[in-house]
Amino acid sequence: MRESIQRFAIDEPEEGQGGSVSINYESTFREIGEGRVIKGRIIFVSPKEVVVDIGYKSEGVIPAHEFDQLDSLKAGDEIDVLLEEAEDEGGRVVLSRRKAERSQTWERVAEQYKEGDFVEGRVTRKVKGGLMIDIGVETFLPASLVFLKGFGSLNSLIGQTIQVRIVKITPARKNIIVSRKDALEKEKQETRAKVLEELQAGTTRKGVVKNITDFGAFINLGGIDGLLHITDMSWGRINHPSEMLKVGDKVEVMILSFDKESMKVSLGLKQKEPNPWLDVDQKFPIGTKVKGRIVNVVPYGIFVELAKGIEGLVHVSEISWSKRITNPSEIFKAGDTVEVMVLNIDKDNQKISLGIKQTESNPWLAVEGRYSVGMRLKGVVRNLTDFGAFVELEEGIDGLVHVSDMSWTRKVNHPRDVLKKGQEVEAVVLMVDPANRKISLGLKQLIADPWEEIASKLSVGSIVLGVVTKVASFGVFVEIEKDVEGLLHISETDLASAQLLESAYPVGKKIQARVIKIDVSSRKIALSTKGVGQI
């Protein structure tokens, strides 16, 4: 708008000059600036326009539609108007009643409010980048400051009265930016504070499931969220909160604890019901046999539900008297019904130890009367391990043949070199230990120890013929009689490097060697090829 200063004077007769008129500019001029609100007096009112005298050289004209109640106006009334132009193309003064009102309203609002104040306003329309809000004057609400999270529907707010916070006031541009987001956050904080004041530990409150995680569920209590931890959902076992709740469910929970400063609320669901562990020792006394449902199978055992909210663990060691259980999932699955015995109860930690094998008779109780040291018996090889073979003697009773008890003369590196699974063997009972459920068996004890005879046949210094059976980094093993081996150490050969052993003494090669040592107690024979011709 063009800024201009117009000056005019009203001619009046000077004192003592008998009516002659001259212009006294210093006493009569008025300053009128375009864009300013000034006082004017109504001269004439018509259906199309209102003529107003502002004390200028010509009257100003205002369109009739700028007045809400045209009928109430009359000549002589004083009104505020805004000078838009001091002179238009037709030489008339252009005035505006509406713009004067708006300018005055802006000034009142600017005086009444400051940045940071919360005010109510009506959403008038949607514009590019946001909404226009009427708080007495139009203000701009950016789309990014409309909602707390993300973007919602701006159109849904048109026509509504909402609370906003004044973010920025720019007087020069008569511009105000507001934020609904800040007002919503304030309302949220006030609601939270109010709810926290109402909360009492031990009381119940209704809420709605807002979110579900692996560790629990967040419940909206009406202005504040509380955490219902998975451990506080049920006295029994649940693997995931989704087994009990889903988003949107209405639930009644108990307030366990809350912190007003951090606004954290802990909730409980199981606490609404009596703790089933309080009288667990009366319901399930130690030694009681009871049937239960398997609820979980883990590598170290199975969890069995005895009653709602009460579970016990059957450790792998308590599943069978005789069988070595390494993977319970091969035998049990969730949902199976099993009979168990209560072995121990820990009420404080809510733990019950259970056993399955205790529901059956212990076959080891009478084993000492059926098996004695020196007894010869037959069994079937049930399993092979690195250290020996388990031989099943009867249902539930196994004996172990250690690798050291498989041969008098042969070094057995693995039981599979001598036995195979499912093979029927004869063995001698070496030891019976019912308390530790162990029976030791021997194969070599079926025959007499041949080492005394071997020692009588061989003598230190004698030359023997043998076959290489194994090559090691330190030497080679040579079979000099059936199942009788001697060690040819690398130091007793003419070789300078261990890398040459395999090529010089391949498995299966026949060689001659001299016996240099016989140790009957440790059952070892030492050989040497130094100075011995080869075949």
Distance CA 204, CA 213 (A): 22
Dihedral of CA atoms 475, 480, 483, 488 in degrees, nearest 10, equals -10
Do 425 and 467 sit in the same domain of this protein? Answer: no
CA-wise closest residue to 179 among 239, 124, 133: 133
Lowest-confidence segment of 31-35, 133-137, 163-167, 397-401 by average pLDDT: 31-35
Q: What is the largest CA-CA distance in the chain?
A: 174
Residue 375 and residue 440 in one domain? yes
Q: Which domain holds residue 343?
A: 280-358
Whether residue 1 lies inside any domain: the answer is: no
The confidence band for 17, taking pLDDT boundaries of 50, 70 and 90, is very low
In which band, very low, low, confident or very high, does the pLDDT at 535 lie, cut at 50, 70 and 90? Answer: low
Distance of alpha carbon 107 from the chain centroid: 55
Is the model's pLDDT at 6 over the cut of 50? Answer: no
Residue 53's pLDDT band, with cuts at 50, 70 and 90, is confident
Higher pLDDT, 162 or 153: 162
Residues 288 and 314 in one domain: yes
More confident residue, 193 or 11: 193
Same domain, 457 and 440: no
Phi-psi region for residue 174, left (φ > 0), alpha (ψ -120 to 50) or beta?
Answer: left
- 86 vs 467, which has greater pLDDT? 467
pLDDT confidence of residue 410: 76
Tokens 């919602």 appear where?
A: 152
Tell me what pLDDT residue 498 has.
66
How much is the average pLDDT of 490-494?
89
CA 386, 389, 393 angle in degrees (round to 5)?
160
Pair of tokens at residue 285: 């006394």
Chain centre to alpha carbon of residue 158? 40
| Number of domains observed in the structure of the chain | 6
CA distance 414 to 403: 7
422 assigned to some structural domain: yes
5 is a domain residue: no
Last residue of a domain, one of 64, 79, 102: 102
Average pLDDT, stretch 311-321? 91
One domain for residues 263 and 285: no
The H or E element that residue 227 is part of is: strand 225-229
Do 181 and 146 contact (CB within 8 A), yes or no? yes
Confidence of residue 88 (pLDDT cuts 50, 70, 90): low
- pLDDT grade, residue 7 (50/70/90)? very low
Asked if residue 491 is part of any domain, the answer here is yes
Burial class (CB in 10 A: 0-12, 13-18, 19+), 163: middle
Distance CA 468, CA 331 (A): 47
Residue 15 within a domain? no
On average, the pLDDT of the chain sits at 83
Residues 290 and 268 reside in one and the same domain? no
Residue 215 lies in a domain: yes
- CATH number (domain holding residue 35): 2.40.50.140
Residue recorded with tokens 């530790």: 436
Q: Do 385 and 437 belong together in one domain?
A: yes
3-class SS shares of the chain: helix, strand, coil, % to 5: 20, 40, 40
Is pLDDT of 63 > 70? yes
Average pLDDT over residues 469-489: 88
pLDDT at 153: 82
At residue 411, does pLDDT exceed 90?
no
Instruction: Identify whether 4 is part of a domain.
Output: no
Cα-based distances in Å from 7 to 30, 31, 54, 157: 6, 6, 13, 50
Overall pTM > 0.85:
no
Mean pLDDT of 482-487: 84
**Res. 182: pLDDT tops 80:** yes
Tens digit of pLDDT for each residue in 96-126?
777 777 777 777 777 778 888 898 999 999 9
Structural domain ending residue among the three candidates 185, 210, 245: 185
Amino acid at 109: V
**How confident is residue 487, by pLDDT bands cut at 50, 70 and 90?**
very high
Same domain? For 354 and 397 the reply is no
CA angle 415, 417, 419 (to 5 degrees): 60
165 and 209 inside one domain: no
For residue 439, being part of any structural domain is answered with: yes
Residues 522 and 464 in one domain: yes
> Which among 323, 358, 393 is the end of a domain?
358
pLDDT value of residue 379? 93
Give dist(CA 57, CA 7) in Å, integer. Answer: 9
Answer yes or no: are the C-beta atoms of 140 and 176 closer than 8 Å: yes
Report the distance separating Cα 303 and Cα 293, nearest Å: 8
Q: Report DSSP letters for 115-168, one per residue.
A: TT-EEEEEEEEEETTEEEEESSSEEEEEGGGT-SSS---SGGGTT-EEEEEEEE
